[in-house]
Structure 1
Amino acid sequence: MGGQALRALLARARYEVLPAKATEDKVLAHVPRDVVVTVTASPVKGLEPTLGLTERLAAHGYRVVPHVPARLLRDDAHLKDVVERLCAAQVDDVFVPAGDADPPAGPYDGALPVLRALTDMGRPFADTGITGYPESHPLIHDDITVRSMGDKQAHATYIVSNLCFDARVLTDWIARIRRRGVTLPLYMGVAGPVERAKLLSMATKIGVGESARFLTRHPSWFLRLAAPGGYAPDRLLARSAKGFTEPSTGVAGLHLFTFNQIAETERWRRALLDRLGG
């Protein structure tokens, strides 16, 4: 499975969590401090749960990456307030998707204007992430998403790929965006070892986070996750190992969608590291 290179990707894994009531306790109980934690945002609940959890986890010593969806920002003053609050919490990395709020809360209908605003503010964060779509976005043509990444890369430092369960699609997408001049480091989005019952429960909760909502727009993906024997992250990594570990691909690490199955994800990661000799 790529041995040393794959171990390095697993060691640099990021955990995406949903800002639910029990999330803080789960992270504290199961996630080592050297694992980056990213916190989603909900168009139903707004940014406050994301910002609050980010501040608390940062105070516990985690490196935390909050999602700041453009469509949840009310105006320039709101963006400034969010930036000041995150800087006060010593957050040095943010992830800026467009978000799903419809209609937008303010003037930002996509990520690029927010990224430009952050640049105009003097780049208050050391790192800024943007979204990549290995499979077609449910609302945006693939060529547009690739071109958009090219436009955004002047204001960003890395890309996080959205969920995909097809190793060939992932490796082809990496090659395609590299040919088209997208050079930012990639964190490859991979679903963790989700349990069917918990996934079904999570997916029925409206507005809990972008990763859960994304599944509702891709019902075939949900079936692959929920079906007995339908998905195992080990198999996906085995099939994608070369595409993820070749230096020319620029893959910096894994972005693990936990669906708040945080203990299960960490046990799986540690077990795989042990099997790989890590």
Structure 2
Amino acid sequence: MGNVNFSLEVTTRTDLSSLPNLKDIYITFLPSSDYKDVIKQTRSLVSSGYNAIPHFPARSIVDQNMLRDYVDQVKDAGVNQVLIIGGDRDILGDYHCSLQLIETGLFDNFKIGIAGHPEGSPNMSDDVIEEAMKSKSKFADYIVTQWTQDTEALSNFISKAPLPVHVGLAGPASIKTLVKFAGFVGLKNTLNFAKKNASKIFDLLTIQTPDDVIQELKNKVENFHIYAFGGIKKTNEWLQKENYYV
């Protein structure tokens, strides 16, 4: 499909035997997990030939000793690319934003991705988000956006972005699932879109794919990042069916 590339996000518990044939695999560091579990999953991915990209959520990093150990271990595993984000949880230690992690200098030899929020964030004003983007973009290589189905917001974000944008997509999932995850992260536009498309109770079980978003934006960006809310198997089947493997 032209020059379009796809990456996928997995958790520390994802069964790697069912992964799609993609190169770039991101590993989330969820509030319920430990960074050592992320390291273990990262090592498994690297040994299987993937470009493993671990998350570094600032609010989950307790102190510099933990950060240094985390960085050293993923580097030892063969990682050269990371995603540095603020994170969604309460602040657990010395860091509250991604810029603080970047400024430690521990990531100077890594390719760095940072987070983007086309629909804004329930935790920050648009002005704060814009200022943070300006501060971080000097040190980063690209932006991975929060998933959204709002193509207008995405197009606007892409046009103003100071770095290449990897557009976040929800992989194939029921509208009910999308409504749930949109509510978790405060995506008002996407939440309204999903509810509008669920006019009947039975429609909540209808599987929604991001094909329309891809078609509309494929000439504006080269990279799409998949959040597999409907499961890895369903995502893999969709990628193959639509011939999205390149």
TM-score category (smaller protein) = 0.7 to 0.9
Question: Which of 13, 21, 24 is equivalent to 1:36?
Answer: 24
Partner of 1:115: 102
**1:164 to partner: Cα distance:** 1.2
| TM-superposed deviation, 1:61 | 1.4
Partners of 2:107 and 2:226 lie apart in 1 by 30
- Residue by residue, what CA displacement relative to the aligned partner does 1:74-124 show, whole Å, maximum 9, x if unpaired? 11111111111001100111111101221x22110110010111xx23613
Shift of 1:222: 5.5
Please tell me whether the aligned partners of residues 118 and 154 of structure 2 are also in contact (alpha carbons under 8 angstroms): yes
Partner of 1:252: 222
For the pair 1:8 / 2:3, whether they are aligned, the reply is yes
Structure 2 stretches of 5 or more lacking a match? none
User: Contact 2:170–2:226 at 8 Å: present in 1 too?
Assistant: yes
* Residue 150, structure 1, aligned to residue 150, structure 2: no
Question: Structure 1, residues 32-52: CA drift from partner, whole Å, max 9, x if none?
Answer: 2x4211111112323232222
Equivalent residue letter for 2:240 = R
Structure with bigger helix share is 1
CA shift in 2, pair 1:42/1:252, >3 Å: same
What are the within-5 Å matches in structure 2 for residues 183-222 of structure 1?
Answer: 184-195=163-174, 199=177, 215-218=183-186, 221=190
CA contact (8 A) 1:39 1:50 kept: yes
Task: Kindly indicate whether the alpha-carbon contact (under 8 Å) linking 2:172 and 2:207 is maintained by their aligned counterparts in 1.
Answer: no
Distance 1:252 1:168, change over 3 A: same
1:46 touches 1:72 (CA, 8 Å); kept in 2? Answer: no
Does the Cα contact within 8 Å between 2:7 and 2:26 map onto a contact in 1?
A: yes
Of residues 78, 93, 96, the one that matches 1:106 is 93
Q: Distance in 2 between matches of 1:122 and 1:137?
A: 26
TM alignment of 1:15-54, pairs within 5 A: 15-20=8-13, 23-24=14-15, 27-32=16-21, 34-54=22-42
Alignment of 1:72-111 (within 5 A): 72-102=60-90, 104-111=91-98
Greater RCO, 1 or 2 (C-alpha within 8 Å, sep 6+): 1
For residues 112-191 of structure 1, the aligned pairs below 5 Å read 112-117=99-104, 120-121=105-106, 123-125=108-110, 127-177=111-161, 182=162, 184-191=163-170
Residues 192 and 265 in structure 1, CA contact (< 8 A), matched pair in contact too: yes
Q: Which amino acid aligns with 2:17?
A: L
Q: Secondary structure at the match of 1:13?
A: strand
Q: What is the distance in 2 between the residues matched to 1:232 and 1:58? A: 29
Q: Which residue in 2 is equivalent to 1:68?
A: 56
The SS at the match of 2:9 is: strand
> RMSD in angstroms over aligned alpha carbons?
2.6
Name the amino acid aligned to 2:167: M
Bigger CA drift: 66-75 or 222-231?
222-231
Structure 2 residue matching 1:96: 3-state secondary structure: strand
User: How many angstroms apart in 2 are the aligned matches of 1:111 and 1:252?
Assistant: 25
Normalized per residue, which structure has more strand? Answer: 2
User: How many pairs does the alignment contain?
Assistant: 237
TM-score calculated relative to the size of structure 1: 0.76
